[in-house]
A and B are shown apart, each in its own frame.
Chain A
Amino acid sequence: MHNAGYRDYSLTEPNAKASFCNAEWYASPVPRKRLKELMKRSDLQALTNYALWLALVVATGALLVTVWGTAWAWPMALIYGVFYGSGADSRWHETGHGTPFKTRWLNDAFYHLASFMSLRNPHLWRWSHARHHSETIIVGRDPEIAFPRPPSVRDWVLNLLYIPAITKELGKMVRISIGNLTDAEKNFLPESEWPKTFAASRAQLMVLALVGLAAIALQSWLPLVLIGLPTFYGSWLHHVLATTQHAGLAEDVPDHRLNSRTVCLNPIFRFIYSNMNYHVEHHMYSMVPFYNLPALHEAIKADCPPAYRSLWACYREMVPAVLRQQSDPNYYIRRQLPAGAGTTPTYERPVIAAE
């Protein structure tokens, strides 16, 4: 049973006034010298990963073209789609932080490419994600709470094909291309960013239109199966992995150890997901590039709840919690800090006076 109105997740008034970005957030102690080493960017390490990813996208795409029209096209599309859709989503995120490459234009080039491949407006999402990091899972402030309570299991299942999320993104792309922003978007996107936000949506729409025209001219679905549609049929793996980031955990707590998860994954998933399974570490020290997150994990793990040993272990706890939240929205998973761990800062939601 849905208990509508349990909490107000909207970013508009009165929440728009209640910024908690200056609240003290907990950070596990890491000596400055070690942190500087971990924050260092390496074009070589980033390029090795990104070039391999692009090579896999191109190679599996070429194989898909080769087997198009045969029964092999289906499994090939599935593999291609995962590298395209799921691989792009995690790389959109990483380059949005600007952390993988030392050279800025490389970050920016991959950011715009991956933003298009995941059908996200690069400017709007940069600012939305900045807010997510300032006020992680703070109700009415974080625009990226994927499981507002009571959660919609229907939306979660449909999002395995990215249907609600990407349908929303496509609608957003059209709306923004004609210069229309919602009040919630205006709440985190400064006016100086609006012109390039509109221009980016127009450019993305134009590319999609060209792909559509190519499909019509060739009388074939192939161009759309290669560009555009993989975001729908290939992002499911990203969605399965990204659900573990915060679902079922505490809201309104200034401690990423309690509102985020670190999950052990196999190397293939970690490659596709750009090590975002180290999500506590990523939120606590977002300057650390993805390839140094395992080392950061080692540096702070004694101060954090134990990492989940597998995706299965995480889902076994998370799914029942999310199901229970449908009828009991006050329920959440209380992560246990180890003995001797640092203390969570106290935090109270500001009372917003009525005008």
Chain B
Amino acid sequence: MPNWIRACGANDVEAEDLVRFDHGDRTFAVYRSPDDEYFCTDGLCTHEQAHLADGLVMDYEIECPKHNATFDYRTGEAKRAPACISLATYPVKIEAGSVWIEI
């Protein structure tokens, strides 16, 4: 049974940026790409659990603020050390001006 949760308003995220979304004891990162597509991954870097929301989005990659590990936020793939483990990704939809994620 899909569980769709409202994460934020679509305009709460600037293009080529991300916001943090906490739900229960979990934390997520919601991204808006340069071409205005939305994506969602786990919010913590797989290397040392830093919040990715403090990092930098460049094109389709998020760079961790702590050690500059990078991930492709569309697929979660770890692209640069020190991250070796990919991020979990979650389906996203836009409805009525809000970003919804399926967890």
Contacts and interface: CB of A to CB of B under 8 A. Distances in A.
Interface string B35-73: 000000000000111000001101000010111101000
Contact of B81 (A36, A40, A127): A127
B93 interface: no
A287 B48 contact: no
A39 B55 CA distance: 9
Nearest to B81: A126
Interface residues of B, number: 17
Interface string A282-293: 000111000000
A133 B48 CA distance: 11
A287 B68 CA distance: 7
B68 A102 contact: no
A281 B84 CA distance: 27
Contact of A22 (B49, B65, B80): B49
A193 interface: yes
A287 B56 contact: yes
A192 interface: yes
B80 A286 contact: no
A130 interface: yes
Contacts of A75: none
B49 A21 contact: yes
Nearest to A134: B48
B79 to A, nearest CB: 8
A22 B65 CA distance: 13
B67 A190 contact: no
Interface string A22-59: 10000000000000100111000000000000000000
A36 B63 contact: no
A95 to B, nearest CB: 11
Given A98-B80, A190-B84, A192-B84, 8 more contacts: A36-B17, A99-B68, A123-B81, A133-B66, A133-B67, A134-B67, A193-B84, A287-B55
